Structure 1
Amino acid sequence: MALIPGDYLERVYAGFLGMNIGIRLGAPVEPLEWTFERIEDVYGDIKGYLKDYKTFSADDDANGPAFFIRSLYDDAADRELTAEDVGRAWLNYTRQGIGMFWWGGEGISTEHTAYLNLQRGILPPQSGSADQNGLTLAEQIGGQIFVDTWGLLFPGDSEKAADYAAKAASVSHDKNGIYGARFIAACIAEAFHAESIPEIISNALKTIPSDSTYAKVVNEVIDFHWEHPEDFRACRTFLEENWGYDKYPGVCHIIPNAGVCILALLYGNGSFERTIEIAAMCGWDTDCNAGKIGTITGVWNGTQKIPDHYRKPINDFIVLSSVSGYLNIMDIPTFAKELALLGYRVSKQPAPSGLLKSFKEEHIYFDFTLPGSTHGFQTNYPFKTFIRHSNEIGYETNGALEIFIDRMIEGEASKVFFKPFHRRKDFNDEKYKPSFAPKACSGQKVSMQIYCDKWQGEDFFVTPYVRNTFNEEDIKLEPLRLINQAWNNIEFIIPETDGAIIDEIGVMIESPSPLLNRSFGKLFIDEFQIAGKANYKIDFSKQAIEFQSVTPFAHHKGAASLEHGKMRCRSEVECSSFTGNYYAKNYKFRAAVQPLSGVQHMMILRAEGICRHYKAGFDGQNRVSLVLTDFGMKRLIEVPYKWTAGAEYWFEASCEGDMIEFFINGKRIFQVEDDRFKRGMFGFSVLGKGEALLSDIEVKEL
């Protein structure tokens, strides 16, 4: 194992930022209608984002890197990774037919085909093999587009990065598909210590067979660049003529796109922005190609060489589309810290104490220590309040969110806030159907430190608030006067919202300054936290159907709809709905359940995913069970209970420590001790053919 560099965390952060910048840049011209020539005709020499998104929607190129590495938590926590581990992560976090990757049909989409193989019990690497699926599917581009995080985990150890990426890619790909995974992951690992882009490429080539088609296209682009070092368009024409889409079957073959990646890396000459711009201008799979080389050049350059006009629209935030709506709201600095800690773990090296202190898995914690980090904060009034990162001040360590206030007067107010939940109207499109669970709920405590640096005018006041996303009203708490030239501790409990979800949480900034003495100065926010025990309700009359899910749930199979203030679940084989804090440990979950047809209607408890959780409830005629679901079902207890279709019942479950209790209409039905799952989401499931209505959900963390 290579020694982890001192700036590892910052380089991981830069690499993941670079990946998402590249994806966002290339996404508008990914469809096949956008040929190389049309991109040049419409956009010319690209120098910035092609579209202004309200919020960039989910993308498969980010979904895979974020969730497939969870196999290192769920299975390979204390041993070497296997391909089967990654296959289980596919099944555990991917909702069937929606999100995560392209559901283009069996025999057309490589990932769709591999997913169906996994469901049939065909284990990796057979699930992605050319023998199973044919060479065409095995060598599509997906082999290299989900591997960024494997490279980030092994800085300087390209062979280990390549080995893990190959295991992961073998779930769905084979042959050149796996060589691409090895090569890209190796490039990312090499970028932590290589002195040049050619050195990165040269060392990564050592991890794949020298006689492979992948190695051949890499070497031919290298040779062309040597002879024509100034004209990337000539190289793109060379690729079209010799390695183009017309020469490789399938929807999106890996070989032409491998050529574009090498072309962009070489002609970009080490510049982060020029490299991703060239990749976007070359066409073919633009978001994948720009994303992969964005990771490589992001790591190699570091955050300081990523231009603001690419970084600011990202704002440290992406959305994803797994089964966990909580994990789907991703704060990039937090994920970078989590990934860096994982890198130290798999390399068997101690993590720095500062990193350990800076990451809190179980709740929201933003300390603004990473260079340029903003943690997704926004303002509704940029004319008066300008937000940026500051590394000149901090509550305990340097780093804070700087809010510049430009001559505010009485009657003006500016909100500065974090979004713990998202609605469809926040997006321009529905790409990859993200779903969301709230990351801030009634009963939790919000705390932050605010430093006041007033230059003129009357005092600044901040009013803590949350926004009810159902009626779009701001729930304001008591205003607080800030003490100038001091850190002010701000704390408040999130108020009750009567079953609606909160989609903004922050402070309103005001000053009673007159026109002739306008308030001018800065505020700095640090140590922002949302923690403590949630206690909230979900009222379906205040929810909506968005991204093919009933808020705030993510659905796997079946169909869910809203009906007279209730959620109707329809199943032919299974209909499971998940929500809640992925890291919640001890809680009570209560709901009104009305089984309409079928015989299995059950609460979901402590869900670590689709294939790992408990179920409690009606389990056959006149029977109640607790079922352990762990890639298979095991009944932990069965209790006789007479129930009737059409009647409404109050289900309540309590999970505390290893004890699980289940109640119906206030009467305890069973109490079982089991230690398989310690935490997880909650939800509801109808198994077999059946329908049920769900309403009046109450959740209380213990």
Structure 2
Amino acid sequence: MLIPEDYLERVYAGFLGMNAGIRLGAPVEPLEWTYERIHDVYGEINGYLKEYKVFSADDDANGPAFFIRALYDDAKDRELTAEDVGRAWLNYTRSGIGMFWWGGEGISTEHTAYLNLEKGIQPPYSGSAEKNGLTLAEQIGGQIFVDTWGLLFPGNPEKAADYAAKAASVSHDKNGIYGARFIAACIAAAFNASDIHEVIARGLKTIPKDSTYAKIAGEVLDFHWEHPGDFRACRDFLEVNWGYDKYPGVCHIIPNAGACILAMLYGEGSFARTIEIATMCGWDTDCNAGKIGTVAGVLYGIGSIPDHYRKPINDSIVLSSVSGYLNIMDIPSFAKELALLGSRLAGEEAPDMLVKSYKKENLYFDFVLPGSTHGFQTDFPFKLFLRHCPDIGCMTKGSLEIFIDRMIEGEAGKVFYKPFHRRKEFNDEKYKPAFSPKICSGQTISMKVFSDKWQGEDVVLTPYVRNTFTEENLKLQPVKLVNGAWNEISFIVPDTHGAVIDEAGFMIESPSHLLERAFGKLYLDEFEVSGKADYTIDFRKQAMEFQSVMPFAHHKGKAVLENGKMKCSSDEECSSFTGNYYARDYTVSADVEPVSGGCHMMIARAEGVYRHYRAGFDGHNKVSLHLIDFGVKKLVEVPYEWSHTETYRFEVTCTGSQICFSINDEKIFSAEDSRFASGMFGFSVLGKGEALLSNVACKEL
């Protein structure tokens, strides 16, 4: 058996560890933060350096989350190729924004590789030293996107290294690829290794013994053997012999490899100490602490991650791909997704509990993983305290415990999940995340709540969602909880009339009086969002944030808000995407006013930038349906007289393999194609042109 019994929990620990390391190292990543300055300002680091409202997107999390989607999109039932990962790069990345560092061609390795891919230069040549030069090929990016390859192959470091190398070859070469092999192999080895020395030894077996990467690893191992108690002495040794001054480029992999191995060794079995040392060593701090955070999380287990590193993450991160829906990540759900994928790759049947616990097309939170909170929070921490409960659950052990501390009539607190984010929630705009709401009008929210009242009157729970435009809490029917029982609560998300929902949960109140205040606990389990969404997007109620017109993510061109509409301007292309990434059958419609140019089209069932359908005006007095799959195939073309500055109501309906397109309620064509069964929707202006979009509506069927 390849898959360990605690596989899911270790994957969860590894991914949490990665994000703790990223969050710790991020504030001191820029080159201004030298090793000496970090020491001068922060001294001995033993906790996060900054308090973030919501931690913004980071390339070190983007890559691991999205590049493995090659296993869903292309390599479903065969071995992975480098070309598969190259397609994932293009399909999930918006040109020039988000995902990774756009530092310029010839400066940023990833930017350079992306431009190569756009030109049709295939991996591994797109990332080769022959094409880009040795300096770019050996920057650190080769090893910073590979965590998930290690998590997918538990106990199989050679396989993890092989897949990581294929993925890294999209953008890197030589030592850049050896770093990818080493880090992924260490993560895979950590599932069944006895200690960090074994992890490192098994990782080194996957790279050439005569490589520079192996040489620096050997010298750090030797130095640690001779000086086991002083990591700063080892860091000084690295500075003298392997420092940035000896390796060209912005962020070379070799000095950072030394810092990673140093931190793993001098961490001495402590998760916290490991990521702290990686951060104190300087150089590429978030990358280094993130990578070895994954290794340490898997090796030492979920219990090794201290609360002060885990609680601020609160099981949730944001990303910056083209899918605003996927950019809001619930870490326990992603861990389950990885564990299911890892089981499939191993040819093993996943445990029944895991299969039932993950629902790809719905939000489903069951709190079975140790310490999991699924991102729930409260606005009233003075009276409401949230934490994971390992012992109590509705069907399986695990729930969210809500401690109520002596509430009286007139007091109210919210417990909620965030299905959407606004710019004001962030401290910065790093990697420009874009969001599509994960909960929409028309859907059904259900949950189970157990009441354990100790004193006072019964608790009243009022489900609600929050309209982010008006900031109004839209309250549903109050529920008086039955004490000592699991209460089943279900409601349909109300119409927000074109605005986005940014909170969903319930309010807690009690009519208790001052002499016998409400005191006790609630337990939340099986929180689920299901059913068919039916909503509109009113641009008068949206905002321009993170260089996007929310809730859209834009690829190329320019999109802005203008007089209650979204204006899309293009020199070659302006494509905008939104909606549930997993939505199957739906009708999407919008008012489209072509201002200039000849190609204005609705997007449907988009799996990404390079995979979707589009239908609409396609040249002078023509309407077409295109299949976009890393190329354009025209499925339908019919005559239709249209003109600029007039407004047309476009409607695309996808049901099964049938795609219907209407203009102003007149059916223009119907076609059959089964290439894409689900995906986002949106709008494109192609070639030089401009269009106005308004009154968008989506109804799932």
TM-fit CA distance, 1:253: 0.1
Residue matched to 2:455: 456
SS in 2 for 1:388: strand
Q: Which residue of 1 aligns with 2:624?
A: 625
Determine whether 1:322 maps to 2:324. no
Whole-Å separation in 2 of the counterparts to 1:636 and 1:222: 60
Residue 305 of structure 1 deviates from its aligned partner by 1.2
Correspondence for 2:213:
214
Cα distance in 1 for partners of 2:195, 2:417 equals 39
Distance (Å, rounded) in 1 between the aligned partners of 2:486 and 2:202: 50
Amino acid at match of 1:502: I
RMSD: 0.4
CA offset digits 1:87-111 (Å, max 9, x no partner): 0000000000000000000000000
Which residue matches 2:7? 8
Distance 1:698 1:587 in 2: 10
Deviation at 1:143, TM superposition (A): 0.2
1:682: which partner in 2? 681
- Structure-1 residue corresponding to 2:262: 263
Match of 1:22 in 2: 21
Other-structure match for 2:530: 531
Aligned residue for 2:278?
A: 279
Q: Which runs of 4+ in 1 moved over 4 A?
A: none
Whole-angstrom CA distance in 2 between matches of 1:67 and 1:23: 17
Aligned counterpart, 2:590: 591
TM-score relative to the length of structure 2: 1.00
Deviations for 1:600-638, whole angstroms, at most 9, x for unmatched residues?
000000000000000000000000000000000000000
Equivalence for 1:430 = 429
Deviation at 1:171, TM superposition (A): 0.1
C-alpha separation between the residues in 2 aligned to 1:284 and 1:384? 43
User: Cα deviation per residue 1:648-680 (whole Å; 9 max; x = unaligned)?
Assistant: 000011000001000000000000011000000
Question: What secondary structure sits across from 2:551 in the alignment?
Answer: coil
- In the other structure, the counterpart of 1:570 is 569
Aligned pairs for 1:648-663 within 5 A: 648-663=647-662
Aligned to 1:270, the other structure's residue is in SS state coil
Q: Deviations over 1:261-317 (max 9, x none)?
A: 000000001110000000000000000000000000000011111100100000000
Please list the CA deviations of residues 426-456 of structure 1 after superposition, one character each: whole Å capped at 9, or x if unmatched.
1000000000001000000000000000000
Q: Distance in 1 between matches of 2:141 and 2:562?
A: 39
Q: Give the corresponding residue for 1:647.
A: 646
Counterpart residue type for residue 55 of structure 2 = F
CA distance in 2, matches of 1:477, 1:183: 53
The residue that corresponds to 1:67 in the other structure is 66
Alignment correspondent of 2:332: 333
Pairing of 1:363-382 with structure 2 (within 5 A): 363-382=362-381
CA deviations over 1:498-530 (Å, ceiling 9, x no partner)? 100000000000000001100000000000001
Partner of 1:517: 516
Q: What's the counterpart of residue 301 of structure 1?
A: 300
For the residues of structure 2 that align with 1:588 and 1:206, how far apart are their CA atoms? 53
In structure 1, stretches of 5+ residues that fail to align are: none
Give the SS at the match of 2:320.
Answer: coil
| Residue in structure 1 matched with residue 441 of structure 2 by the alignment | 442
Aligned pair count? 701
Q: What is the CA–CA distance in structure 2 between the aligned matches of 1:74 and 1:269, rounded to whole Å?
A: 40
- Which whole-Å CA distance do the structure 1 matches of 2:72 and 2:36 have between them? 45
1:162 paired residue number: 161
Q: Residue 392 of structure 1: CA displacement?
A: 1.1
Amino acid at match of 2:130: D
What residue is the counterpart of 1:606 in the other structure?
Answer: 605
The residue type equivalent to 1:355 in the other structure is L
Partner Cα separation in structure 2 for residue 96 and residue 57 of structure 1:
19
Equivalent in the alignment of 1:484:
483
| Residue identity opposite 1:13 in structure 2 | Y
SS at match of 2:13: helix
Secondary structure (helix, strand or coil) at the match of 1:560 reads: strand
* Partner residue, 1:230: 229
Work out the CA distance in 2 between the residues paired with 1:628 and 1:645: 25
Aligned residue for 1:360, secondary structure, equals coil
Question: Per-residue CA shift, 1:376-404, capped at 9, x if unaligned?
Answer: 00000000000000011000000000000
Structure 1 residue 45, shift from structure 2 partner? 0.6
State the alpha-carbon separation in 1 of the partners of residues 453 and 49 from structure 2: 39
What is the match of residue 109 of structure 2?
110
Give the Cα–Cα distance (whole angstroms) in 1 for the partners of residues 287 and 221 of structure 2: 21
- Residue equivalent to 1:499: 498
For residues 555 and 575 of structure 1, what CA distance do their matches in structure 2 show? 7
1:36 aligns with 2:54: no
In the TM superposition, residue 203 of structure 1 has moved relative to its aligned partner by 1.0
Cα drift, residue 19 of structure 1: 0.2
Q: Which residue of 1 aligns with 2:360?
A: 361
| 1:237-257 deviations in Å (ceiling 9; x for gaps) | 000000000000000000000
Q: Which residue of 2 aligns with 1:399?
A: 398
Q: Which amino acid aligns with 2:397?
A: N
Residues 322-362 of structure 1: CA deviation (Å, up to 9, x unaligned)? 00000000000000000000001111111111100000000
Q: Displacement, 1:487?
A: 0.2
Q: CA separation in 2, counterparts of 1:680 and 1:441?
A: 16
Percent identical = 75
Provide the C-alpha distance between the structure 1 equivalents of 2:438 and 2:549, rounded to a whole number of angstroms.
Answer: 17
Match of 2:80 in 1: 81
d(CA) in 1 for partners of 2:414 and 2:300?
34
Deviations 1:576-609 (A, max 9, x none): 0000000000000010000000000000000000
The aligned residue for residue 172 of structure 2 is: 173
Residues in 2 aligned to 1:120 and 1:674: alpha-carbon distance in whole angstroms: 28
Q: Distance in 1 between matches of 2:21 and 2:281?
A: 13
Question: What is the distance in 1 between the residues matched to 2:389 and 2:676?
Answer: 41
The alpha carbon displacement at 1:151 in A equals 0.2
Letter in 2 for 1:17: L
Where 1:88 maps in the other structure, the secondary structure is helix
Cα shift readout 1:521-573 (whole Å, capped 9, x = no counterpart): 00000000011000000000000000000010000000000011100000000
The offset of 1:471, in angstroms, is 1.0
Please list the CA deviations of residues 50-75 of structure 1 after superposition, one character each: whole Å capped at 9, or x if unmatched: 00000000000000000000000000
Q: Distance in 2 between matches of 1:615 and 1:669?
A: 14
Aligned position for 1:473:
472
CA distance in 2, matches of 1:203, 1:660: 52
Partner of 2:288: 289
Structure 2 counterpart of 1:493, one-letter code: I
State the distance in 2 between where 1:91 and 1:297 align.
31
